[in-house]
Amino acid sequence: MTSATLLSRVIPPNVLGAKKAHRLLERNLMVYKHGWLVILSGFFEPLFYLFSIGVGIGQLVGEIPTAGGQPVSYAAFVAPALLAASAMNGAVFESTMNIFFKLKYAKVYDAILATPVGTGDIAVGEITWSLIRGALYAIGFMIVMLAMGLMESAWAIMALPAALLIGFAFGAVGMAATSFMRSWQDFDMISVITLPLFLFSATFYPLSVYPGPVQAVARMSPLYHGVELIRALTLGVFDWSIVGHVAFLVVMGLIGLSIAARRLDGLLLT
């Protein structure tokens, strides 16, 4: 079996043939041209956490040992985790409620399908837009980290593509999950899932402080893989586990994209 055949089985043909996804990006840019404050509002929550917990409580905690044995300030330990959470929040917010409104109430996608744009283009375009929103949050947060002197390594510049990968993974899964939602009440489950991810993905404490069973559960958290990836880059502490973190997020994103594209076919073409 060739790699192309295997890829076509994993990713729907409508995604592989998506050539007009940029039209969705153009539309979203026009819609949000006068509403950037709505998008940027989600950036401030992790920033407030950084100031209140990373800086405030950090004065009491002191330094945290890293995997490489070099201690860093608590703020430098927490900041990359909050950067990962910021990318997650941006992607999830955009790929859930906004897409649900377009799909179920505004009927935006029904109108779009009257043009040459297909369901694959819609899936790729909307997930890319979710990724862009997550990237905007990440860029703003990185600027704050740089101003506060929390970039411990020159490799920190790679935190941006890492944040894009996090945005892709969560944006794709968020859109896939949204395709199963039937009412606004269903979105309570989003908070039920994202809040524990935020709190228990080695965001505020090293994984080693958790009991063994909790560590095993935390290692299955997608945000944990994003946190560890960005933390390794900003602190300059590398090992082979980075490959596993990247692979986890890539596979998660591809699965989410595949489900979202197939679900859109079923919802919009039948």
Q: How many helices (H) does the chain have, and how many strands (E)?
A: 15, 2
Does the residue 1 lie in any domain? no
For residue 191, report the phi and psi dihedrals to the nearest 5 degrees.
Answer: -65, -35
Q: Is residue 2 part of a domain?
A: no
Q: Decide: 47 and 142 in contact? Cβ < 8 Å.
A: no
**Residue 64 host element (H or E):** strand 63-65
- What pLDDT, on the 0 to 100 scale, is given for residue 107? 87
State the pLDDT at residue 6. 46
Lowest-confidence segment of 90-99, 174-183, 227-236 by average pLDDT: 90-99
Domain count, the chain: 1
pLDDT digits (tens, 9 = 90+) for 105-150: 888 888 888 888 888 888 888 888 888 877 777 888 888 888 888 8
- Closest to 81 in 3D by CA, of 215, 229, 190: 229
pLDDT at 18: 63
Spatial contact of 223 and 201, defined as CB atoms under 8 Å apart: yes
- Whether 111 is covered by a domain: the verdict is yes
Mean pLDDT for 189-198 is: 88
Helix (H) or strand (E) holding 63: strand 63-65
Closest-CA residue to 164 (of 86, 57, 71, 266): 86
Indicate whether 3 belongs to any domain: no
* Residue 201 domain-assigned (yes or no): yes
Do 159 and 233 form a contact (C-beta atoms < 8 A)? Answer: yes
Least confident of 71-85, 127-141, 212-226, 248-262: 127-141
Q: What is the pTM of this model?
A: 0.87
Mean pLDDT over each residue of the chain, to the nearest integer: 82
Task: Please say if the pLDDT value at position 166 is more than 90.
Answer: yes
Residue 6 lies in a domain: no
- Give Cβ neighbours of residue 120 (< 8 Å, ≥ 6 apart): 12, 13, 14, 15, 16, 17, 18, 21, 261
Residue 198 lies inside a defined structural domain of this protein: yes
- Whether residue 68 is contained in a domain is answered as yes
Helix, strand, coil distribution of the chain in percent, nearest 5: 80, 0, 20
Q: Which residues of 126-155 are buried (b: 16+ CB within 10 A; e: fewer)?
A: bbbbbbbbbbbbbbbbbebbeeeebbbeee
Structure tokens at 257: 């994209």
- Dihedral angle computed from the Cα positions of residues 169, 95, 84 and 20, in that order, rounded to the nearest 10 degrees: 60
What is the structure's pLDDT at 147? 82
Q: Is 200 helix (H, G, I), strand (E, B) or coil?
A: coil
Q: Could you give the CA distance from residue 153 to residue 33 in angstroms, rounded to a whole number? A: 35
Residue 71 or residue 33, greater confidence: 71
Task: Determine which of 32-41, 59-68, 79-88, 128-137 has the lowest per-residue pLDDT on average.
Answer: 32-41
Distance CA 20, CA 178 (A): 22
Residue 169 tokens read as: 């993974």
| Domain residue limits at 129 | 13-268
